Amino acid sequence: MNTRNLMIALFAIAVIAQLAVPGWLLARHETVLRNGEAYRFECMPVDPVDLLRGRFVALRFSEMQADGIPDLDHGIDELFVTFETGEDGFAQVAGAFADPPEDSPHLKIGKYAWRSLANGEIHIDLPFDRFYMDENVAPEAEAAMRRRGRGAREAYLEVRILDGRAVPVELYINGKPASELRGQLN
Amino acid sequence: MTMHPVRWLHEELPKLVQGGILDPAAADRLKQHYGPPPRSPWKTGAMVLLGTLGSMLLGGGIILLFAHNWEALTRPTKAALAFALLIMAQLFAGFAVLKKRDSAAWTEGAAVFLSGAVVASIALIAQTYQIVWEIDQILLAWVLLMAPLVYALLSRMTAALVWVGSTWWLFAKMEIRDDLVYGLAYLALAALAVPFMVQQFRSHRDEGRTLLLNWTAGLALALGAIRIGVESGDPWRLVLSGLFGLLFLFGVSLEIDGESGAWWRAPFRSIGAIGLTVMLFLFTFREMWGDDMGGTETSDVLTVFLIGIALCALALFGGYRLIRDQRYHQAALLLTPALALIGLLAGRFTNTPSIMAVLANLAVLAVGLTLCIHGFQHHKLGTVNGGLVLLLAVFLARFMDIDLTFLVRGVAFMVVGAGFLAVNGWLYQRSRKEVAS
């Protein structure tokens, strides 16, 4: 193979790989959106900017804990959590497992979990900590949430969960999708 | 500037035909034989620069446009847009590979545009699907997908982007987890561009694009070294001075026939020298020899110490070879890793910081004087000034440490400043006389 053909072959491989990576990402997450179980996680938004992906609302969730894991042989790197919807309509931890449970939707937590030195409980930081949205709406959403104390606004993130993965669907403020709240929050 | 012979011929031929010396057919045959006149290098350079800049701006603009996160667009539309952008850039680059391989403006522009489109499409898909990817994951994918373009399009600008992306990745990764093993991963990632750089250095050493690539790589390496050094805890002095020493020695090894060219033509040597000098200056402060510099918790400190010692030992071996070749002004800079090693050995004695600071002051004096002497001997005004600035900086720093009145300080500053000007004036006069004679 001469140099020219080698360069063309290399270029062809690069082109396929460049299409494959976003294609793979799309397929993986589209599956979760279509087939995943929906849960609502109560949250508190703050508004930073990501240089590559634009403006997002960073989310703080109430602390979640999992106790009663009998054997955590694989260490904290492999932790699978199932959720249930509580009386308030928001998700809460139903169980935590060392191996992926076969029949219920679960989320792989991995590096987002840590064990308390005080009481041995497993604390969970949810891996979906941001929600990308229109750059004009994001600061409005954050400002509205800051005044939550006075206006008692409610915020939650709807997330679909399937086979260890989670894909955030929509951020709701006062029961409405945040993307539809432009100009209505203040 | 002398004119290229073929261009000269093309300008002369019509005159020769007009004067009846050549008939038009012979003139045409001559034109055909010698081919078209080459473009002037500055014209080619300007076209490459404009092509690359245009592509960068276009790619950057598209990223920012997408970053707005249009609420009006549905998820499938956003996904389709991401792929449309990528495919458009790929077609553009494919055309350059197949039809415009000889045009640097085309290949560089297309490669840079496609590199931008790759990261833009991944970022857009990540944004659309709210993907929980940290920025380091996106950067890693970007560098890996961009690296083949360096070789497929022979693009020096893309090779520079590989260095930028790798260094950005190191910073992003260490922000999340400060493990020094990522330092090795960083070198492996950036090394994807190295075989191409070697080849370009051999064939187009003095071209602007090669210099730009080497400066980018040198600065990226320096930033990477600082990031790694900062995270290495107590052995930071060893690690950082060893890395800068090796960067400097690598730059020196690239010199042709042992001739030190202009500083801007030798990026690795210059950046290494600046790093070593700044570190040596920092070493003159007592605080720099304290124990508690923070640093990593995840890496084995003993391993880091051993790596630091190995780096410094290698640098000192290079220094020994420079002394053997009587290149004292370059060898003097390697006093920095030597001091770091002495600091480690002297660590068991009491009051080490003070002793080390005194030694560092003496080392600065030695380096400054060596540079001045070398500059005087070889009539290099820049080297003399470099030595003087170093001496001046350490003099002023020590002067600030001592409790003196403003009057005394003011007078001392004036004396030093006047001395500086006098030396420069004298050197300037001397070089003018030499030119005149």
User: Same domain, yes or no, for A18 and A66?
Assistant: no
Q: Is A80 within a domain? A: yes
**If you measure CA to CA, which chain A residue comes closest to B69?**
A134
Per-residue confidence (pLDDT) for residue A144, from 0 to 100? 66
pLDDT tens-digit series, residues B85-108: 899 999 999 999 998 888 888 899
Subunit contact A52:B63, Cβ cutoff 8 A? yes
Subunit contact B152:A18, Cβ cutoff 8 A? no
Residue B388 touches chain A, beta carbons under 8 Å: no
User: Same domain, yes or no, for A44 and A106?
Assistant: yes
Mean confidence (pLDDT) of chain B = 85
How many domains, chain A? 2
User: Same domain, yes or no, for A99 and A169?
Assistant: yes
State mean pLDDT over A110-117.
68
Chain B, window 35-54: residues with a beta carbon less than 8 angstroms from a chain A beta carbon: none
pLDDT at A62 > cutoff 80: no
Q: Is A116 within a domain? A: yes
User: Same domain, yes or no, for A49 and A112?
Assistant: yes
Residue B153 touches chain A, beta carbons under 8 Å: yes
Residue B428 touches chain A, beta carbons under 8 Å: no
Q: Is A186 within a domain? A: no
Residue B71 touches chain A, beta carbons under 8 Å: yes
User: Same domain, yes or no, for A121 and A71?
Assistant: yes
**Which of A14, A17, A26 is nearest residue B125 as measured by Cβ atoms?**
A26
Q: Which of A10, A11, A160 should one mutate to test binding to chain B, selecting the residue with the greatest count of B CBs within 10 A?
A: A11
State mean pLDDT over B217-238.
88
Per-residue confidence (pLDDT) for residue A19, from 0 to 100? 96
8 A C-beta contact, residue B141 and residue B86: no
User: Same domain, yes or no, for A113 and A160?
Assistant: yes
Q: Is A46 within a domain? A: yes
pLDDT at A174 > cutoff 50: yes
Lowest-pLDDT range of A89-103, A141-155, B257-271: A141-155
pLDDT at B350 > cutoff 60: no
User: Same domain, yes or no, for A112 and A153?
Assistant: yes
User: Same domain, yes or no, for A74 and A111?
Assistant: yes
Residue B143 touches chain A, beta carbons under 8 Å: no
**Which of B68, B83, B97 is nearest residue A134 as measured by Cβ atoms?**
B68
User: Same domain, yes or no, for A82 and A45?
Assistant: yes
Residue A77 touches chain B, beta carbons under 8 Å: no
Per-residue confidence (pLDDT) for residue B331, from 0 to 100? 93
User: Same domain, yes or no, for A45 and A109?
Assistant: yes
Domain that holds residue A42: 36-180
Q: Is A89 within a domain? A: yes
Per-residue confidence (pLDDT) for residue B1, from 0 to 100? 43
User: What percentage of chain B carries pLDDT values higher than 70?
Assistant: 90
Chain B, window 268-307: residues with a beta carbon less than 8 angstroms from a chain A beta carbon: none
pLDDT tens-digit series, residues B125-156: 888 888 877 788 999 999 999 999 999 999 99
Position B67 confidence tier, pLDDT thresholds 50, 70, 90: low
Subunit contact B131:A10, Cβ cutoff 8 A? no
Subunit contact B141:A21, Cβ cutoff 8 A? yes
Q: Is A175 within a domain? A: yes
The helix, strand and coil proportions of chain A, stated in percent and rounded to the nearest 5, come to 30, 35, 35
State mean pLDDT over B18-22.
87
Per-residue confidence (pLDDT) for residue B70, from 0 to 100? 67
**Which of B93, B129, B154 is nearest residue A25 as measured by Cβ atoms?**
B129
ipTM of the complex in this document = 0.78
**If you measure CA to CA, which chain A residue comes closest to B149?**
A11
User: B222 versus B355: which is more confidently predicted?
Assistant: B222
Domain assignments of chain B as residue spans, ordered by start: 1-33, 232-400, 403-437
Q: Is A167 within a domain? A: yes
User: Same domain, yes or no, for A8 and A73?
Assistant: no
Lowest-pLDDT range of A146-155, B267-276, B396-405: A146-155
- Kindly list the residues from chain A whose CB atom is less than 8 angstroms away from the CB atom of residue B114: 18
**Which of A7, A53, A133 is nearest residue B126 as measured by Cβ atoms?**
A53
Q: Is A6 within a domain? A: yes
Residue B95 touches chain A, beta carbons under 8 Å: no
User: Same domain, yes or no, for A31 and A68?
Assistant: no
Subunit contact A52:B93, Cβ cutoff 8 A? no
